[in-house]
Amino acid sequence: MDFELSPTQIERRAAVTAAVAKRLAAHRTTTDPELVRLAWKNIAGSGLTGLCLPEEYGGSGLGALDTALALEAFGAACSDTGLVFGIAAHLLSCAVPVGEFGAEGARELLAGMASGDVIAGNAMTEDEAGSDVGRIRTTATRTEGGYVLDGEKSFVSNAPVADVFVTYAVTDPAAGFLGISAFAVPRALDGITVGEPLPKMGLDGCLAARVRFDGCVVPDRYLLGAEGSGGAIFQHSMAWERGCLFAAYLGLMEHQLAECVRHTTERRQFGRKIAGFQAVSHRVARMRLRLESARLLLYRACWLLDAGRTDVTAIAMAKTAVSEAAVANSLDAVQLFGSSGYVAGAGIDQQLRDCLPTTIFSGTTEIQLELIARETGL
């Protein structure tokens, strides 16, 4: 077991940090679609939108662990966690399945996805199909030269700025899980309606909306994998998302911990630094313990992915550990900063709002615990 990062990995992390400082120096979290696209354009030149995509399409060809390390550096350097989340979701839940399962027609989208010129949204969730993805009602009916999509997706990250949607629909209602197919659907096709941006508690920089397909004819070339393989493709994309996207939250927690150390060693109460109170120092120590424990689990899950071993338990444990640590550490940070942590504008309040949804998206904590229990033999 070797816990040291290679010189190349260290250099890549430093490069990401420098790129964010330079390219997003003037960026502030925004919900304006035009400004969100501008932020994407500014950071895309750093390679973050194509980390694990094939080099022949302009990507960096990185494995899961190297992708996670880059996203961790991104999460630490960028205060707009919504932007970080949107780019990671574009890359992992959309570009990865297009790159690995798309035929030649769909793979033509990859160059734009790698460069950030083509933004992708993952359209799976429906009103009656969140954790229970087998209950999706969107249909894809065979027609000459393609499929006709009908249905509505209730929560699609990046939707207001997306140029393509990776979506899932039922092609064979009688086949259950094996009757779901995956598609890369260009937004320019007729029959697609994107709703207004949804108001959210956090991740403001990642705009989300409902997306409706009404008789949308999708040519055959945009089918991902074989008909009926959509469920397996979605599971594969979720392995990458749960394994790599949450590295961005390791970065957030690393930055947050440094802020808490600085604050507690500078702020004085009762004639002494508050870091000298055991109640404070132990809270900070537990924050570090959660962060380091979650980091090891996530690195291991990514290492297994790179080894060709998609370990469901390892990924579920990593996702759960990171999400629960992010929420707990953010609550501790608010407590350590006191009223200044509660007042909007200091950044600590925003970190908490951005961390709260981690226990919901990419599979709820309850679903992850079910997966762990099942793989444990229960």
Is 296 part of any domain?
Answer: yes
CB contact at 8 A, 181 and 171: yes
How far apart CA 65 and CA 63 sit, in angstroms, is: 6
Residue 345 is predicted with a pLDDT of: 73
How far is 137 from 128, CA to CA, in rounded Å? 8
Among 71, 92, 115, identify where a domain stops: 115
Closest CA to 211 of 265, 145, 163: 163
Domain that holds residue 215: 120-229
The predicted structure's pLDDT at residue 206? 97
Domain holding 172: CATH number?
2.40.110.10
Please state, in angstroms and rounded to a whole number, the distance separating the CA atoms of residues 200 and 344. 16
| Residues 157 and 250 occupy one common structural domain | no
pLDDT exceeds cutoff 90 at 310: no
The domain spanning residue 31 has which CATH number?
1.10.540.10
pLDDT score of 315:
96
**Backbone torsions φ then ψ of 361, nearest 5 degrees:** -75, 160
For residue 240, being part of any structural domain is answered with no
**Together in a domain, 60 and 167:** no
Residues with catalytic function? 241
66 and 25 assigned to the same domain: yes
Looking at the fold, whether 47 and 111 belong to one and the same domain comes out as: yes
Identify whether residues 366 and 297 lie together within a single domain: yes
Q: Is residue 234 part of a domain?
A: no
Give pLDDT, residue 320. 98
The answer to the question of residue 364 being in a domain is: yes
Do residues 305 and 314 touch, judged by C-beta distance below 8 A?
no
Give the tokens for residue 255. 């930055």
pLDDT at 3 over 80: yes
pLDDT > 90 in the chain, percent: 93
- Span 111-166, pLDDT tens digits: 999 999 999 999 999 998 877 878 899 999 999 999 999 999 999 999 999 999 99
Per-residue tokens: 77? 């350097």
**100-114, 123-137, 297-311: which has the minimum mean pLDDT?**
123-137
Rg (CA), the chain: 21
Q: What's the confidence (pLDDT) of residue 164?
A: 98
Q: Is residue 164 part of a domain?
A: yes
Phi-psi region of 26 (alpha: psi -120 to 50; beta: other; left: phi over 0): alpha
Evaluate whether residue 236 is within a structural domain: no
For residues 51 and 142, membership in a common domain is answered with no
In this prediction, residue 134 carries a pLDDT of: 81
Last residue of a domain, one of 115, 132, 148: 115
Residue 276's Cα: distance from chain center in Å?
A: 38
**Residues 6+ positions from 128 with CB-CB distance below 8 Å:** 135, 137
Render pLDDT for 218-266 as a digit per residue (tens, 0 to 9): 999 999 999 999 999 999 999 999 999 999 999 999 999 999 999 999 9
Rounded to an integer, the average pLDDT of 177-199 is: 96
How many domains, the chain? Answer: 3
252/364 same-domain check? yes
User: CB atoms < 10 A from the CB of 260, how many?
Assistant: 24
Tell me, yes or no, whether 265 lies in a domain: yes
The answer on pLDDT for 104 being more than 90 is no
Q: Are residues 144 and 157 in the same domain?
A: yes
What is the structure's pLDDT at 28? 92
What is the pLDDT at residue 268? 95
Last residue of a domain, one of 68, 98, 115: 115
Q: Are both 26 and 109 inside the same structural domain?
A: yes
The answer to which of 105-114, 209-218, 283-292 has the lowest mean pLDDT is 105-114
Give domain status of residue 239, yes or no.
no
Q: Are residues 164 and 150 in the same domain?
A: yes
Q: How far is CA 271 from the centre of its chain?
A: 44
Is residue 147 within 8 Å of 171, Cβ to Cβ?
Answer: yes
208 and 111 within one domain: no
- 82 lies in the same domain as 69: yes
Distance from C-alpha of 207 to C-alpha of 162, rounded to nearest angstrom: 10
